[in-house]
Structures are given as structure tokens and as C-alpha cells.
Structure 1
Amino acid sequence: MPMSGRSTDWLLAVGGGLLLALMINTNSLLARHTTPLFASWAAHGLGAAAAFILVVLHSRLSRPRGGDEEERGKAPLWFYLGGIPGALTVVLAAITVNSGLTLSGTIALMLVGQVLFGIVLDHFGLLRTPKRRIVAADFLVALLVLVGSGLIIFGRG
């Protein structure tokens, strides 16, 4: 039985979260032995190399299907600025993981930030996301994640 698109999305999101936790832990270990800035450069340098290899492999293995070849692959220049928040995430996570927050507290608070920023993006339709009205349940989700984060951080008795 094939997976529906929605369940595949859920599995990919959970897999992305697992990889994010692994990345943050690995980068924080590197930052502990070097500096957070070096850990960020190392992570993004390896990521850039892996992305380059994947792009080359993809371009060799796939042929354009439909659409004008010149039109495809042209993204606005600001789309390439996505690496800046990623680099800051790595640096800040490397610093906080090595603090009293530890890995679980850092990831929990990062989740709070992602939920709140996602609510703002959805409401205003920023970064080409579809506009969505904010409902009370959105704030309830953010509050519950924040309370859970507090339990993770302060409940280590």
C-alpha cells in the first residue's frame, strides 16, 4: 500500500528533526574542541560540498521535463540567503548546547521559535507562504511547546 503524500511529509519532517538533533550535537562537540564559528564553517562547508555533488548528480541523471529550460532553475537572488539563518542556527546552537541548556533544552527552545515564527509567516504570507488566519489553537500549541521546554530545562531534578 503506497504512502499518502501527507504521511510521507510527516515522516520526512520527523527524519529532518532527527537529523537536526544529530547535527546540533555533532556541531556542539566540534565547537567544544574548537570555536562555534569554526564549527559553523565546517558544517556549512561540508553541506555545500554535499549539495554541489547532489546537484551535479541530479543534473546528469535527469532530463528537463516540460517547461522552458531557461525559465526553470531561475530563482530570485534572495532565495540564496537561506544559508544565513542556517549558519546562525549552527553557531547559536553550538554555544547553547555547551551551556546549561544542553541539547534537549536547546532543541526545545528552537522549536518554540520555529512555531512562533511559522505562525507569523503564515499570517502575513511572508516568504511566499500561503496566508492563513491565526487561531487560538496556534497560540495554545506555542504555549504547550514552551511549557514542555520549561519542563525539559528545569525538570532535571
Structure 2
Amino acid sequence: MTKELIPQLMPQEPTGQAHIDLKPQVSTPLNLMLGLLGGVALAVMIALNSELAKYGSPLLASWVAHGVGTLVALLLLGAVRLRQGALTRRNEAAPWWAYLGGLPGAFTVVLGAMTVNSALGLSASIAFIMAGQILFGLVCDSLGLFGMARRRLSRGQGAALTVMTLGALIVLLAQEGA
């Protein structure tokens, strides 16, 4: 099954260059698994950066995280280019604002380190971070922000945000009552 999904993720162009199709597609088990792994990676990142912030500061943790991330990204880019050729999507330039993804990343590290090292702790911090991600994701989907496909929001999605926020509050209240 995974072998069948890989061509959807990176179909080969006639030129032999790899191509990543970023258009909205039907959810597949691979997409769901990758989303879950992304969530786990985010939680690990927040935990590690928060630990580093204890020995320096949240800003130091952000600098180190992005420096290490840059080195790993460069190594991965080099490995992919050696193996497959350049990764391309289109021949046109990305909009200027698409290059600013590191800004919220830096704030995520700093804010995450500050909240994890507060009374919130790791689990409540991650619960509220996830609630914020869902809220902003719904706003982006409904308005088509940042080049996202515009999607009509449903009551179910509003209910999911409400349940997620209540879950974050329950995590917080349960740890305070423990």
C-alpha cells in the first residue's frame, strides 16, 4: 500500500526530476501517519528546546534549534539532490512572504520553551499549542490565507475546535488538581 502512495507523493516528471504535488488531495493513511509523526516531532522539539532553555534562555534555544535545523535541512537537501536531482514544483518564483516560515518557527521555540518551563508543563503547553494551530488552521482554510485552498468550514470543525480547547483546559486542570 505504501508503494502505491509514494508515486502520488512524488510522481516522476518526464525530465527525470522529482516533483512534489502540493495540491489538496484525498486524505490517505500515509497523509494521516505523516501528520501524526509531525505532531510527535513538534512535541519532541518543544521538549528538547525547553530543556535547553533552562540552561540558557528561550532565545538561545531558538538559535540552537534553527542552527541545527538548518544544518540537517542542508544535509537532507544534498542527499536528495545527489539521489534524485533537484526537487522542483514549478518554474515560477514563490511569493516573498512564503520565505518567512522561519519567523513563526522561532517564536514557536521561544514561546514553547517559556510555557513548558512554566506551571503549564509539557502536556498542557502542547495541548494549547495544538488548539491554537487548529484555530489558525480553520481561519486559514476559511479565508484561503497564505495561498491555501479556500475551504468552507463546517459545524463539525467548530465542534472539533471546541472539544480541542476543552481538552486543553482539562489537561491543565487535571495537572493542577493532581
Q: What TM-score do you get using the length of structure 2 for normalisation?
A: 0.80
After superposition, the CA RMSD in angstroms is: 2.1
Equivalent residue number for residue 108 of structure 2: 89
Report % sequence identity: 39
Which structure 1 residue ranges, 5 or more long, are not aligned? none
Equivalent residue number for residue 121 of structure 1: 140
Alpha-carbon separation, structure 2, partners of 1:154 and 1:65:
46
| Counterpart contact for 2:47–2:122, Cα < 8 Å | yes
Counterpart code for 1:15 = L
Alpha-carbon separation, structure 1, partners of 2:102 and 2:88:
30
Which structure 2 residue ranges, 5 or more long, are not aligned? 6-26
Equivalent residue number for residue 26 of structure 1: 48
After TM superposition, the structure 1 = structure 2 runs for residues 75-154 of structure 1, keeping only pairs within 5 Å, are 75-154=94-173
1:52 matches 2:74: yes
Alpha-carbon separation, structure 2, partners of 1:129 and 1:100:
35
Equivalent residue number for residue 61 of structure 2: 39
Q: How many residues align?
A: 154
| Counterpart contact for 2:50–2:116, Cα < 8 Å | yes
Alpha-carbon separation, structure 2, partners of 1:106 and 1:26:
14
SS of 1:155's equivalent? helix
Alpha-carbon separation, structure 2, partners of 1:121 and 1:24:
24
Alpha-carbon separation, structure 2, partners of 1:93 and 1:127:
23
1:66 offset after TM fit, Å?
9.3
1:11 matches 2:33: yes
The structure-2 alpha-carbon separation of the partners of 1:65 and 1:18, relative to structure 1 and needing over 3 Å to count, comes to closer
The structure-2 alpha-carbon separation of the partners of 1:139 and 1:83, relative to structure 1 and needing over 3 Å to count, comes to same
1:155 offset after TM fit, Å?
1.1
Counterpart code for 1:59 = R
Alpha-carbon separation, structure 2, partners of 1:29 and 1:65:
35
1:67 offset after TM fit, Å?
8.6
Q: What TM-score do you get using the length of structure 1 for normalisation?
A: 0.90
